Amino acid sequence: MLGLCLPGGGAKGAFQAGVVYGLYEMGVNFDIISGTSIGAINSYFIYKGCIEKLKQVWTNIDEERYKNCVCTNNILENDMLIDILKKLEGENSYIKSVYINYIKVIDKDIKEVVVDITKVKDKLDIIKYSSSIPYRTQNGILMKDIIENFDFKKVSEEFKEDIKNGVYDGYSLDGGLINNTLLSPFIKNKVKKLIIIPLRNNYQVPDYLLQSYNLEEIVVISPQRNLEPRDTLRFENEFCIDLFNEGYKLSKDIIIKEDKNEGIKI
């Protein structure tokens, strides 16, 4: 079996899409997927078997709609992508499970929730939770104004303060706030090869994963450039196309082989 882990990273998710599209061209199919935040959104395209649509979306970003959307309720708006997911049809028959994580805020405390969306009806609700980034929107603020003044460290500090003050009680939010690389499903469900596509160039495989896998069973495909936290909000067409192409090119360096019993594998 082949596993795929898609961490979060906002607009940097274009890199993941490029890798996935390149592997798709080579006939690679995944059995188990995990996704967080933008990784959850990308995983849904794969689950629905809509890889061509995945490419189309990431190489044709609607910058104006994104920058002019109004964010309210103390979260960053993600309806632009969720609306696209609602229109996807089909299903990838190879996929056995798609695990998505998000956090639930109860009584000023946060708890991670992990759901296999292949087993539930409210799939898109789970995806939306996982990609809902907290932000002090006051009475409403345009995304373009958020982008201009975005300070990831400040946002993180404000979120911790707002949790203590009960601002987010009852909310379901971005899983990446506490666990941006969802690996637990692959410990419970051992795969022959695990592909991790982090959205930073200094990712290190955690020791706890190496208790279940050896390094030969893990493939890490990460951007070669140094991406910044503020790039999370850079849903700009040129930026996303560039990242998509980088991921696509790197995917072609992956060696694949064909197993007569299991088809194309890495």
Q: How many CB atoms lie within 10 A of CB 170?
A: 9
Question: Is residue 37 flagged as an active site residue?
Answer: yes
**Residue 18 is part of a domain; what is its CATH number?**
3.40.1090
92 in a structural domain: yes
Over residues 69-107, the pLDDT tens digits come to 999 999 998 899 999 999 999 999 999 999 999 999 999
Radius of gyration over every alpha carbon of the chain, rounded to an integer in angstroms: 18
256 in a structural domain: yes
Please check whether residue 5 is in contact with residue 181, taking contact to mean a CB–CB distance below 8 angstroms: yes
Residue 186 CB burial class (10 angstroms; 0-12, 13-18, ≥19): buried
Domain residue limits at 20: 2-260
Helix, strand or coil for residue 264? Answer: strand
220 in a structural domain: yes
Helix, strand or coil for residue 262? Answer: coil
Q: How many structural domains does the chain have? A: 1
Identity of the amino acid at 62: D
14 in a structural domain: yes
Q: Which of the residues 34, 43, 174, 231 is marked catalytic?
A: 174
Q: Which of the residues 37, 43, 222, 251 is marked catalytic?
A: 37
44 in a structural domain: yes
Q: Which of the four pLDDT bands, split at 50, 70 and 90, describes residue 266?
A: low
266 in a structural domain: no
265 in a structural domain: no
45 in a structural domain: yes
Its pTM stands at 0.94
Please check whether residue 54 is in contact with residue 61, taking contact to mean a CB–CB distance below 8 angstroms: no
- Mean pLDDT for 213-242 is 95
**Segments in the chain forming alpha helices (H):** 13-25, 38-47, 51-58, 63-67, 79-86, 123-130, 143-148, 152-164, 184-188, 237-251
